[in-house]
Amino acid sequence: MNMAMGEPIAPCYFIFGDSLVDSGNNNQLTTVARADYFPYGIDFQFGPTGRFCNGKTTVDVITELLGFDDYITPYSQARGEDILRGANYASAAAGIREETGRQLGARITFAGQVANHVNAVSQVVNILGDENEAANHLSKCIYSIGLGSNDYLNNYFMPTFYSTGNQYSPDSFANDLINRYTQQLRIMYNNGARKFALIGIGAIGCSPNELAQNSRDGTTCDERINSANRIFNSKLVALVDHFNQNTPDAKFTYINAYGIFQDMVSNPYRYGFRVTNAGCCGVGRNNGQITCLPGQAPCLNRDEFVFWDAFHPGEAANIVIGGRSFRRQAASDAHPYDIEQLAML
């Protein structure tokens, strides 16, 4: 880890999100959106934990770079004073909308994750013994929020189960998501959060699963999906600007995961990638028609694949995304701050 002298540059890190960063909260739930089985975790020091990856997630990488000596505990496993260093509330299949992902089973929606955080804040007050102490502590924490992917993947672009695709244009759907997102950020702010990193959504139309379904040549991304994702991201940038102008005691930033992902896919050799359009572990076309199955033998050259399974980047990609979120390599990686700058403010 980077901080030889021990103290992390932020005292605590709270994580809200979906399967890209879930570290085990879904293990206790009745859902097919679980990853607590081999070969998930094949390259992770603790084996299969419920992370949807062969190794570290982006937030694991960020946690290391912030200087923590252990990963942030999933909320479902947090005990005692764990909560003072943060918690990971993320839940696979979760979305901004309540119904998103319901066809997969139980999950903790964004509103549910924030409700869990409100509960955690009262534990922080109890542990520290006074509201001012708690407010001071919580104001220094980093809060990263990465949701929205499932609102497209497991809602808007899934007409078999959901009617939103007929009810909303891509623009009005993005507006609805941003309105709901804003409500949750306000609740977090009212419960002491002051440093927010809003992670944009990636190019979902480039996932092996979407390529398997919708790409004739197996390499051309689904532009209909990517275009909708870009609309959402542009509104997220506007939201960051709005909050920064109107809440002087808080700092918000946007992390351009879409752009970082596009760079890896456009310049794979720069990062040591050879395969950008197929999962390392999966079944069928692009290894993307069915995601990685329990006990399945994954590819051996895992660091040469951008994707670990039908939907999720592998550890090698997460190291790039997490690293550039923490310390930008291009001006476009983060707006207006990277996470390192946010921690130092």
Integer Cα distance of 185 and 182 in angstroms: 5
Q: Identify whether the C-beta of residue 73 lies closer than 8 Å to the C-beta of residue 81.
A: no
Q: Is 174 exposed, middle or buried (0-12, 13-18, 19+ CB in 10 A)?
A: buried
Catalytic residue from among 22, 43, 309, 333: 309
Give, as one character, the DSSP assignment of residue 93.
Answer: T
Q: Identify whether the C-beta of residue 84 lies closer than 8 Å to the C-beta of residue 8.
A: no
CB atoms within 10 A of CB 244: 17
Integer Cα distance of 151 and 174 in angstroms: 10
Catalytic residue from among 19, 91, 149, 207: 19
- For residue 190, give the amino acid letter: N
Q: Identify whether the C-beta of residue 46 lies closer than 8 Å to the C-beta of residue 29.
A: no
Catalytic residue from among 18, 207, 312, 338: 312
Show the tokens assigned to 108. Answer: 């903790």
Residue 312 is a catalytic residue: yes
Residue 19 is a catalytic residue: yes
Distant-in-sequence, close-in-space partners of 132: CB < 8 Å, separation ≥ 6 = none
CA atoms 69, 72, 78, 84: torsion sign: positive
Tally the C-alpha atoms within 13 A of residue 121's C-alpha that lie toward its C-beta. 21
Residue 266 is a catalytic residue: no
Chain CA centroid to CA 328, Å? 17
Distant-in-sequence, close-in-space partners of 62: CB < 8 Å, separation ≥ 6 = 13, 144, 322, 325, 326, 339
Integer Cα distance of 90 and 157 in angstroms: 22
CB atoms within 10 A of CB 44: 18
What are the catalytic residues? 19, 309, 312
